[in-house]
Amino acid sequence: MIFVLYHVPCNRTDRTTFVPTTAMAMLISPKFLFLLLTLVISSNPFRIPPSKTRHRPLRNPLHISTIERTQSQLPSSQPQSQSNNFRLPHSITDILTVTTHLSLCLLLSTSLTILDDYTSIHNPSPSTSTRRFNSPNHPGIKGMASSAEEARLARYEWDGNTNTKDIKSYNEIMYNHRTVTIKEWNSQTPVTEYEVNRAIRNLRIINSKIDLIDKLLDEYEYDKVLEILNSSTFQKTMSSSFEVLRQSNALSEEASRDVGFAWGSCAWRHCGARADAEEAIGEMTKFLGMFEPYEGKFCMNIVRRSVEEVLESVGKV
């Protein structure tokens, strides 16, 4: 019986790390199988030892003449029963044969494993070595793109959804939060009247673009709608205008709370109009291809009402 353990090299660049994959093969020789079967049969594990047998009296004893006549008719089986209860011990040669065979199997399998590891490290085969591909999105390394842009492209190739290219991961959002948002919070200065007027003007421009989007939705011009929604002058301008008005003295404390915070940054606080508008825009950019015009108008109406609510709080509707 031979057990062969085969090791396959891992797909890594250092070529020194190997994953032991257990591939076991058994080769049983007929001679060894016959010998093993003979030992099992000769041991007879189901035989009752003579010491445990007890002679019990007959429940219905017969007449003595009947017993003698019956015994005289039966053949003599006493020597045969004695021979059945008597078993010769296993031969020392048989035990040594089995032990030697198993030891050789273990030694051979260990030797083959060591030899395979040695040859894989010092003389690797080109067929199992790591190969570098020109494509950054090889199917063998999905999810391991080296940059955020490659990861977004890979997600687009997997599901065929063009909108997934612009969806940022949680790590990317938090990186932008640490490097941009917190830096803006730490460097905040009192909001001037000029910044307030500019924010109000930008929100009015956003309202006019929403009217344009409604017209494009009626014509099923979804590509142009996405171009407007994904432009930096729409989402970023709207978010920055909301933030300026929330921090300004032009709004009361209640009005600032109605403006709220960015979508996903509310936590235990009241989200407000800004989060509603950003969430509606996210729904539009994600599912616009599946929307009918009236469904797209419903989402854009949420954005319009959020903008108008903030402008009404400022008194500049």
Q: Which two tokens stand for residue 254?
A: 């209640």
pLDDT of amino acid 297:
92
> Is 291 in contact with 280 (CB distance < 8 Å)?
no
Of 148, 205, 161, 167, nearest to 282 by C-alpha is 167
pTM of the predicted model, to two decimals? 0.45
What are the extents of the domains in the chain?
A: 1-44+92-126, 189-314
Report the alpha-carbon angle 22-122-126, nearest 5: 75
Distance of CA 212 to the CA centre of its chain: 43
Question: What is d(CA 158, CA 164) in angstroms, rounded to the nearest whole number?
Answer: 10
pLDDT of amino acid 230:
84
Of 261, 242, 262, nearest to 191 by C-alpha is 242
Per-residue pLDDT of the chain (317 residues; tens, 9 = 90+): 333 333 444 433 333 333 333 333 344 455 555 556 665 555 554 444 555 445 555 455 545 455 455 555 555 544 454 444 445 456 788 888 888 888 998 898 888 888 887 877 777 666 555 555 454 444 445 455 455 666 656 655 555 555 555 666 778 778 877 887 777 777 667 778 888 888 889 989 999 999 999 999 999 999 999 889 888 778 888 888 888 888 887 777 777 777 777 666 665 566 788 888 888 888 888 888 888 899 999 999 999 998 888 888 777 54
pLDDT of amino acid 116:
81
Of 287, 283, 228, 236, nearest to 262 by C-alpha is 236
pLDDT of amino acid 9:
40
> Domain 189-314 falls in which CATH fold?
Four Helix Bundle (Hemerythrin (Met), subunit A) (1.20.120)
DSSP, collapsed to helix, strand or coil, labels residue 18 as strand
Distance of CA 240 to the CA centre of its chain: 37
- Burial track 34-64 (b if 16+ CB lie within 10 A, e otherwise): eebeeeeeeeeeeeeeeeeeeeeeeeeeeee
Beta strand extents in the chain (DSSP E only): 2-3, 8-9, 18-19, 26-27
pLDDT of amino acid 45:
46
Of 134, 124, 135, 167, nearest to 148 by C-alpha is 167
Interhelix angle 193-218/293-314, nearest 10 degrees: 160
Total length of the chain: 317
> Is 306 in contact with 238 (CB distance < 8 Å)?
no
Q: Which two tokens stand for residue 202?
A: 């930008």
> Longest C-alpha distance within the chain, in Å?
135
